[in-house]
Structure 1
Amino acid sequence: MDIKHLQYVIEVARTGSFTKAAQTMFVSQPTISKMIKSVEEELGVELFDRSGSRIVPTDVGQLIVDQANVIAHAFDNLTTGLDELASLRRGKLRIGLPPMAGASYFAEPIGRFHAMYPGISIELAEDGAKRIEADIENGALDFGVVLLPTKSELFESILIADERLMVLVHPEHRYAARGRIALTELEPEPLISFSEGFALHDRIPAACLSEGFRPNIVCESSQWDLIVRLVAANLGAALLPESICREAGDGVAAVALDQPIIPWRLAFVWRKDRYLSYAAKEWIRFLRTWFPEGLQ
């Protein structure tokens, strides 16, 4: 017995006639009769009293008709929901964004995508790239922005930014007028860094250690704009991406860092082995057009 059988039972009960039910279901009257008979044989009961001019459900038949209506209604809701998902009229995306990537790179594309597909809800989680990567891996997030390199065997990716870190200092700092400085020149400097959970929290000290010194971290923050303000207050220097330094304003000075260059490459990633909803597939397609130079 399948959903079509139940729909035939419902229609016969509604019309009180095999002939009328066949007409509304666009099948022959013998087809309807045969289907009802097969259901009765399968259940071992008589569904309809055929003795009168109008066919009516038996007591058992009425019970089955009532339950069949519930099932048919649920099936209709299911097919409607599937159609809405397939046509992108509904859906949900869970996206993790680090503070430095959210406003700079994703405010506009998220707004544009929502205008195109208003029925798709977008749930944003703002956190450090390390935690976002872990949440994508464990399934708490569908997508997220992380700092490369990452686990290429686990994630698909779209490159969205390929920059380098610069040194941000107070305008009166002795390095402010320099064209570039080496990382080792920051050894005596108090540094403001990102909090734990952010990829740069680990990468900047690692780069310093590789140059033979331990950085003097005097303050940590999860907000890049606060770090910029702390530099402007002359608390210390900071290493930040080029795009952030360009937006930092007049209260600070940005100096190129070399020897070594510390790359800052952001990628939008998702798991290779996880099911992608219709909404997720469309979001990926949309981002590939938004960041065409970032195809990986």
Structure 2
Amino acid sequence: MSQKELNYILKVLEEGSFSKAAEKLYISQPSLSEYIKRTEKRIGTPLLNRQANTVSLTEAGKIFVESERNIVRQRENTQRQINDLIHLDCGQVTIGVSVFRCKQFLTRIISIFKEKYPKVDVLIEEDVTENLVYYAEQSITDFSIVLLPTNIKSLNSVWLFDEKIVVAVAKNHYFIQNNILPVSFTRPFPPVDFSLFKNDNFISMKPGIELKKYFFNLCQHYGFSPRVVIETKSHEIAATLAGVGLGITIIPEYYAERDISSNQSLCYYHLEKGIEPRQVGLVYSSKKALSHAAAAFKDILVSEIRSKNDSQYKE
């Protein structure tokens, strides 16, 4: 039964006669009668008791009208839910991100998003880049914040910012104490020839963390094999260990800038020109359109980061 058929039957019941219902519906009485007869023929049984002074539903009519009312209510509820999603009065967005990126900028973006869309839930999947890329590819996350490029054709990517890597050296290191390297607590950090440290101990990230790959590629570029004495998953721990002289480490410049405000146990140096910074971006599956909630979050994330000119976000 269509919405029109249901409305016609209900109007006849409301007015108590076909003539009055036809008048309210702005159609002729014969047309209304014929329309309802066609409906009854299609159903296979009368839906209305036609008496001299009144009209009522048959038992079949009662069942059918109630069923159609439920269908209409369900249809309206479905449309209402869809409208809520479109207008972000409900919904959910799942973001893949490393612990470091979450601290670096994502918590602030979530706060901005929730202020604008308080009824949308934000879920976070924290993991290393390799897994985050997989989550995006499989649509486990709406999108993941990772290092670019991924070289995966089934993923769309959006560049966010370039990230420089700095070398962290204890301030009591031989090179600093003997003026081979300048004391460097503030930006702009001076450049350093990374091969100077080929005989030093190193603190590295653990396997699965992209900075470890970057570190070993860097050492290969400078023609030496590093002597790694400690591995960790944390930039903070790596910097702390370097600060007490246990080895040289490399960390994102964002962490260095945050660290120097409260700690001067380390000196920081930029890598020489020619060493490309890392690209940070977001990736999401090209096989599935972003939900309205995910698209709105992506737009806020990209806008906020690209418009932020301080070093917390971009170099």
TM-score, scaled relative to structure 1 = 0.84
- Secondary structure (helix, strand or coil) at the match of 1:158 reads strand
The answer to whether structure 1 residue 198 and structure 2 residue 209 are counterparts is yes
Q: How does 1:80-159 map to 2 (within 5 A)?
A: 80-151=80-151, 153-159=153-159
Of stretches 249-258 and 10-19 in structure 1, the one that deviates more from structure 2 is 10-19
- Secondary structure (helix, strand or coil) at the match of 2:199 reads coil
The correspondence for 1:186, drawn from 197, 202, 214, is 197
The two structures, once aligned, show a CA RMSD in angstroms of 2.9
**Cα distance change on mapping 1:180 and 1:12 into 2, 3 Å:** same
Are the counterparts in 2 of residues 161 and 266 from structure 1 also a CA contact under 8 Å?
yes
Are the counterparts in 2 of residues 175 and 255 from structure 1 also a CA contact under 8 Å?
no
Of stretches 206-215 and 92-101 in structure 1, the one that deviates more from structure 2 is 206-215
* Superposition deviation, residue 239 in structure 1: 1.0
Are the counterparts in 2 of residues 241 and 264 from structure 1 also a CA contact under 8 Å?
no
The answer to whether structure 1 residue 246 and structure 2 residue 290 are counterparts is no
**Cα distance change on mapping 1:39 and 1:115 into 2, 3 Å:** same
TM-score, scaled relative to structure 2 = 0.80
Counterpart AA for 2:259? A
* Superposition deviation, residue 247 in structure 1: 1.1
Partner residue, 1:268: 282
Superposed CA deviations along residues 255-293 of structure 1, whole A, max 9, x for unmatched, are 222276252221123233321222223223333432346
Tell me, which stretches of 5 or more residues in structure 2 are unaligned? 183-189, 309-315
- Secondary structure (helix, strand or coil) at the match of 2:146 reads strand
**Cα distance change on mapping 1:190 and 1:85 into 2, 3 Å:** same
Paired residue total: 293
Counterpart AA for 1:257? L
Of stretches 251-260 and 59-68 in structure 1, the one that deviates more from structure 2 is 251-260
Superposed CA deviations along residues 116-135 of structure 1, whole A, max 9, x for unmatched, are 11122111122222211111
* Superposition deviation, residue 142 in structure 1: 0.7
Q: How does 1:1-296 map to 2 (within 5 A)?
A: 1-9=1-9, 18=18, 28=27, 30=29, 33-51=33-51, 53-151=53-151, 153-176=153-176, 177-178=181-182, 179-249=190-260, 250=263, 251-258=265-272, 261-292=275-306
- Secondary structure (helix, strand or coil) at the match of 1:115 reads helix
Q: Give the Cα–Cα distance (whole angstroms) in 1 for the partners of residues 203 and 19 of structure 2.
A: 83
Q: Give the Cα–Cα distance (whole angstroms) in 2 for the partners of residues 236 and 136 of structure 1.
A: 36
* Superposition deviation, residue 7 in structure 1: 5.0
Q: Give the Cα–Cα distance (whole angstroms) in 2 for the partners of residues 172 and 33 of structure 1.
A: 99
Q: Give the Cα–Cα distance (whole angstroms) in 1 for the partners of residues 241 and 156 of structure 2.
A: 36
* Superposition deviation, residue 147 in structure 1: 0.7
Q: Give the Cα–Cα distance (whole angstroms) in 2 for the partners of residues 148 and 134 of structure 1.
A: 14
- Secondary structure (helix, strand or coil) at the match of 1:291 reads helix
Q: Give the Cα–Cα distance (whole angstroms) in 1 for the partners of residues 204 and 3 of structure 2.
A: 62
- Identity over aligned pairs, percent: 25
Counterpart AA for 2:248? A
Q: Give the Cα–Cα distance (whole angstroms) in 2 for the partners of residues 207 and 56 of structure 1.
A: 86
* Superposition deviation, residue 223 in structure 1: 2.8
Counterpart AA for 1:246? E
Q: Give the Cα–Cα distance (whole angstroms) in 2 for the partners of residues 203 and 23 of structure 1.
A: 80
* Superposition deviation, residue 35 in structure 1: 4.4
* Superposition deviation, residue 107 in structure 1: 2.3
Tell me, which stretches of 5 or more residues in structure 1 are unaligned? none
Counterpart AA for 1:187? K
* Superposition deviation, residue 253 in structure 1: 1.9
Q: Give the Cα–Cα distance (whole angstroms) in 2 for the partners of residues 17 and 3 of structure 1.
A: 20
Q: Give the Cα–Cα distance (whole angstroms) in 2 for the partners of residues 15 and 117 of structure 1.
A: 46
**Cα distance change on mapping 1:150 and 1:22 into 2, 3 Å:** farther
Of stretches 140-149 and 210-219 in structure 1, the one that deviates more from structure 2 is 210-219
